Amino acid sequence: MLLDAPPANTLKGKRDRAILATLLYHGLRREELCRLQVKDLQQRSGVQHLCIHGKREKIRFLPMHPMAQRLIDEYLEAAGHRDDQKGPLFRSVKNNITGKLLKPLDTQAVYTCIIRKYGKETGINANVNGFCVHSLRSIAATNALEHGADIGKVQEWLEHANVSTTRLYDQR
């Protein structure tokens, strides 16, 4: 429901679908999402990956989920900034001052204008107390574990220092 909430026929809707898929399938933190640049979409051994710049300047590579990859491709096609390799991947869709769309999204805007907005529209906010980006990290971890992922790999993927933290995310 959450992925279908943004309209598929607008630039903002395409961007928001790509953001939600990236969060749901890869369990990124808001800061990691907002720091992504176009060049962070990388081919590694023939598989599309996200190069994530995490806490304490740690870099990790996550294989992209096909749905997230498709939605990001649709967004980049509509936005037209695929060749701006050093530019932010996810950008504002409107700038009333300069008209240029060069700045990355603000982490608070991701929370209020995307997560909370579509959570409210789908009724998730009413059913999940404290629905936020960390809720999506928990969904991503739980989904991976439900599909047979090793908890140690999920720990590495979420960049947790201790596996006990990863176990807190497991909602099975």
Find the catalytic residue in 55, 103, 120, 153: 55
60 annotated active-site: no
Q: Is 172 a catalytic residue?
A: no
Tokens 């279908």 sit on residue: 4
Q: Which of 29, 30, 65, 91 is catalytic?
A: 29
**Count of alpha carbons within 13 angstroms of residue 157, beta-carbon side:** 24
Q: Please identify which of the residues 12, 82, 116, 160 carries the catalytic annotation.
A: 160
Q: Is 24 exposed, middle or buried (0-12, 13-18, 19+ CB in 10 A)?
A: buried
Q: Using CA atoms, how far apart are residues 148 and 87, in angstroms rounded to an integer?
A: 36
Q: And the tokens for 55?
A: 């806490």
Q: Does 35 qualify as catalytic in the annotation?
A: no
Tell me if residue 58 is catalytic: no
49 catalytically annotated: no
Among the listed residues 25, 75, 118, 169, the single catalytic one is 169
Pick the catalytic residue: 14, 26, 65, 137? 137
Active-site annotation, residues: 29, 55, 134, 137, 160, 169
